[in-house]
Amino acid sequence: MKKILVILSILTAFSACTGKLDKKAELDKLVKEHDKLSEQINTLEKELATETGGNKKIINVAVTDVQPGVFKHYIEVQGKVDGDENVAVSARTPGVVLSVNVVEGEKVTKGQLLAVLDAQVLYASLTELENLLVFTTDIYNRKKNLWDQKIGTEVDYLTAKNTKEGLESKIKTMKDQIAMSKITSPINGTVEEIPIKIGQMVQPGATAFRVVNFSKVKVTADVAEAYSPKIKSNDSVLVYFPDFNEEIATRLNFTSRFISPLNRTFSIEAKLGNMKQEVRANMIAVLKINDYKATNAFAVPANIVQKSMNESFVYLAVVENGKKVAKKQVITLGMNYNGLIEVLTGLKAGDKVITTGYQDLNQNGLINY
């Protein structure tokens, strides 16, 4: 008997809990339906009031006549300024720096001496060879005179000749080695960087000077791989300099066909020629690459486009029965750039699009402009 009472108690408690859950679910459902119905009622009341003349409020708006024009879309990437010639100059032979002959910011010409490395051992060897050459040349001349008189052997003459010519070759090589101890500028330009100091040991391949020629300027940038089908050489590009608030129109003269495996980007380059402003290496520049262009296109400010369900629409100003009213116009959108959005369908030339006051409008609402 006790077991039966326990079972009945459990069933009663479970039934009560189930009843509470069902009621809560029903309440949540009714609240959602109430909110939805309230929203529909408010909308219908506004529309009915407007249609029946119950709402006499006239909203002041501003309108813009829609006219076809050219719409362009740009891909924007951040780049940096560089000289058309930007050379890292290094020593051609190891050595200790004896002198640095230029300073940063100095203009240099091609072939101008920038620094000298220690070559005392080479100079000493050159002097020794030159002295030996004097002696060898004298021996050669004597042997040649004797040979011309048919005195002596041909072997003696040829040996003297080969010895002399061998020394001349060694002296030439030694002079070339000494010349390599002098660091010279390979281009005309300006010395932008001098990372070496007197007394420092330098090695071939390490940057000793950076010389940049800014007579012609270029802007380089890395672009995401996703844009590779859209960007090609000779594409129109606008180069914007934030520091000068200046924009220059040019074209891409180079687009790399190599995608970096590290960051999945490819390089692009645009040459600018002579600049009125004084630019500097690594200065920031924004490249705006034109990847889409439509002629006879309709475009409206992006902020006036509203959405309802899955539709996009704007309000047009029309005249009906002698009254100026707002009409909802469903449109199809295209590309969006710089605050303007292309309208593919839904507008025609001469339509008056409401650009100010559209937030408070309803279908057939009275307006003034």
The CB density around residue 2, as the number of other CB atoms within 10 Å, is: 6
End position of a domain, from candidates 174, 202, 230? 202
Phi, psi values for residue 307, rounded to 5°: -125, 140
Look up the CATH number of the domain holding residue 112: 2.40.50.100
User: Which burial class, exposed, middle or buried, applies to 322 when counting CB atoms under 10 A from its CB (0-12, 13-18, 19+)?
Assistant: exposed
Q: How many domains does the structure of the chain reveal? A: 3
Q: Do 264 and 329 lie in a common domain?
A: no
Residue 179, in any domain of the structure? yes
Cα angle value 77/78/81 (rounded, 5°): 130
Provide the terminal-to-terminal Cα distance of the chain, rounded to the nearest Å. 87
Q: Distance between CA 339 and CA 354 in Å, rounded?
A: 16
Sign of CA dihedral 45, 50, 52, 56: positive
User: 240 lies in which domain range?
Assistant: 75-84+211-293
162: left (phi over 0), alpha (psi -120 to 50) or beta: alpha
Q: How far is CA 74 from the centre of its chain?
A: 12
Q: Is the residue at 28 inside a domain? A: no
pLDDT of residue 7: 46
> In the prediction, which pLDDT does 105 show?
87
Spell out, as residue ranges, where the chain has pLDDT lower than 50: 1-8, 10-11, 13-18, 20, 52-55
Which structure tokens are listed for 147?
């040979």
In three-state secondary structure terms, 208 is: strand
Query: 79 and 223 share a domain?
Result: yes
Cα 79 to Cα 131: distance, rounded to the nearest angstrom: 59
Question: How does 30-45 read in b/e, with b if 16+ C-beta sit within 10 Å?
Answer: eeeeeeeeeeeeeeee
**Hey, what amino acid is at 359?**
Q
Residues 173 and 196 in one domain: yes
Last residue of a domain, one of 202, 219, 237: 202
CATH of the domain at 261: 2.40.30.170
On whether both 135 and 235 belong to a single domain, the answer is no
Burial of 367 (0-12, 13-18, 19+ CB in 10 A): buried
Which residues, other chains included, contact 345 with Cβ-Cβ below 8 Å and sequence gap of 6+?
331, 332
Sign of the torsion formed by the C-alpha atoms of 69, 74, 80 and 86: negative
Taking Cα atoms as reference points, which of 211, 303, 321, 219 lies closest to residue 268? 219
Asked whether the beta carbons of 78 and 221 are under 8 A apart, the reply is yes
Instruction: Assess if residue 178 is contained within a domain.
Output: yes
Does some domain include residue 250? yes
| Residues sharing a CB contact under 8 Å with residue 142, sequence separation 6 or more, in sequence order | 160
Is 25 contained in some domain? Answer: no
Same domain, residue pair 222 and 262: yes
Same domain, 96 and 198: yes
Asked if residue 4 belongs to a domain, the reply is no
Residue 9 makes CB contacts below 8 A (sequence gap 6+) with none
By the 8 A CB rule, do 230 and 291 touch?
Answer: yes
Instruction: Let me know whether 97 and 193 are in one domain.
Output: yes
Check whether residue 94 and residue 198 sit in a common domain: yes
Q: Is 289 left (phi over 0), alpha (psi -120 to 50) or beta?
A: beta
Is residue 16 a part of any domain in this protein? no
Q: What is the CATH number of the domain that holds 300?
A: 2.40.420.20
The DSSP code for 106 is -
Residue 48 lies in a domain: no
Same domain, 288 and 305: no
In this structure, are 151 and 176 located in the same domain? yes
Do 178 and 98 share a structural domain? yes
- With b for 16 or more beta-carbon neighbours within 10 A and e for fewer, the 52-75 pattern comes to eeebeeebebebeebeeeebbbbb
188 and 97 both lie in a single domain: yes
Pairing outcome for strands 311-320 and 306-308 = antiparallel
CA nearest neighbour of 180 among 156, 202, 149: 202
Question: Is residue 183 exposed (0-12), middle (13-18) or buried (19+ Cβ within 10 Å)?
Answer: buried
Instruction: Using the 3D structure, point to which of 166, 181, 202 is the last residue of a domain.
Output: 202
